[in-house]
Amino acid sequence: MGEVQKITIVPVARLAQKFPDGEGLSPGDLPCAIASNVFLADIGQQMKSLDLELWRREYLSRHGVERIQGWKYALVHYYGGEEYLHGTPESQSLELRKIFVALRIVRPSNVPFQYIHARIKHDGSFDPSGFSRAEMPLTVSARDKWATIRPKDIELLRALVPRLLAAYETKTRPVTRAANILETGYNSPSFDVKLLLWVAGWEALFASSAYNGAPAVTGRLRHFLGSRTRIYDAADFPTFLMLPDLTLKDVLEDIYRVRNSLAHGEWVPGDIMRRPGHSGLASSYADILLDASGLALRLALARILRQSLLETFSDKGKLDTYFSYDPITKRRPCES
C-alpha cells in the first residue's frame, strides 16, 4: 500500500471465529483484499485510540464516541496519490457504499452504512477528518442478527463487487434499482415498508410490460432460483437450532397476498398473522414471509451478478426471451 495517506472506514459485522474443525477467520487472515485498494481489515486498535474530542463538543455524545471507538472490523479504502488528488471524500464514500451494498447482498447484518474519513499518521494511528454515523443498529430478523462474515462470503463478495460496480457504471437500472431497494428495505424499521420494497425489487428484476403481476413474477423467480430453495439454510445458522422446512414454493403466493393487502392500505391477512412462526427465528408466519422476501431478492441479485447476466436483465425484451421457454410465464399480460 506504499505511500497511502488517506482512508475511508466503513464498519461491518463481526467475523466468523475460526475453530480447528470448522471454517472461520483468524487475525492472520486480515487484511484481505476485496477490490482495488479496498480491504476487509481489523481496525479495532486504531479505533480505540481515535481522538474524537473536537466532534464530541458539538456532534457526539459520550455514548456516540464510545460506539465509534468500538468499531472493530471494516471495509477500508486506502487512497492516495492520483486517486486522492482527483477525487473527493464524498466520491470515496459513494464507491464504498456500493461495495457495502454488495456485502448486504452476500451477508446482511444489523450494521448500517456509516463511515469515517481519516489520515494515516506516521505511527499508524488515524487522524479523523469527517464522519457520517448512524444512530442505531438496523431492525433485522434473527437470521441477520446472528450473521458473521465467513471465508466463503468474502470470496463471493470479491466476485460480485466488480459486476455490481459495472451495473452502476452502465446504468443497468433494473439491477441497481433492486440493489438500492434491498438496502433501503434494510434501513427501514417497518415490516410493511420492508416487504413492499423487497417485492418491488422482485418486480424491478423479473417483470416487464408483457409479463407482470404475481403469477409472472413468482413463476420467473421460482424458475430462476429453484422452487426448492430453502428459506432457512442450515449453513447460515448454529447447528443446535431446529429450522423450519420451508421453500420458496411454499411461501411466494402468501408473500404476494401480504403485499397486495399492504399495497391496498390494509394489514397482513388475519390467517397469516395467526399462523405461528418458529421459535428463535420468527414470532409469526408473517415474519417468515418477510425473511423470505428479502432472501429471494438477495439470491436473485447474487445470481445475476455471479453469472454475468447484466445485459439480459438490463433489457426487458431480452428478459422475456430468457424466460420464454418457461411454460409458467407464457401467459397473457397480468395486471399488477
Same domain, residue pair 107 and 189: no
Q: Does 146 map to a domain?
A: no
Q: Please tell me whether residues 118 and 210 are part of one structural domain.
A: no
Same domain, 234 and 305: yes
How many helices (H) and strands (E) in the chain?
Answer: 15, 8
Q: Is residue 116 part of a domain?
A: yes
Whether residue 120 is contained in a domain is answered as yes
Same domain for 188 and 297 = yes
- Residue 44 confidence (pLDDT): 95
In a domain, 147, yes or no: no
pLDDT score for 89: 59
> What are the residues whose beta carbons fall under 8 Å from the beta carbon of 16, sequence distance 6 or more?
23, 24, 25, 148, 149, 150, 151
Residues 111 and 210 in one domain: no
Say if 135 falls within a structural domain.
yes
Residue 251 grid coordinates: 411461501
- In a domain, residue 261? The reply is yes
User: What is residue 21's predicted lDDT score, i.e. its pLDDT?
Assistant: 55
Domain count, the chain: 2
133 and 174 together in one domain = no
Residues 129, 36: one domain? yes
- Domain extent at residue 280: 170-322
Whether residue 103 sits in one domain with residue 38: yes
Q: Which of 125, 140, 155 is the last residue of a domain?
A: 140
Instruction: Please tell me whether residues 126 and 189 are part of one structural domain.
Output: no
Judged on CB neighbours under 10 Å (0-12, 13-18, 19+), 256 is buried
Pair (135, 175) in one structural domain: no
What pLDDT digit, counting tens, does each position of 168-181 carry? 999 999 999 999 99
> Are residue 70 and residue 181 in the same domain, yes or no?
no
User: Do 104 and 19 lie in a common domain?
Assistant: yes
Task: Tell whether 332 is covered by a domain.
Answer: no
Q: Which residue stretches of the chain have pLDDT < 50?
A: 1, 84, 326-336
Does residue 155 lie within any of the structural domains?
no
Nearest 5°: phi and psi at 312?
A: -65, -45
Element (H, E) at 35: strand 32-35
> Contact 203/211 with Cβ under 8 angstroms?
no
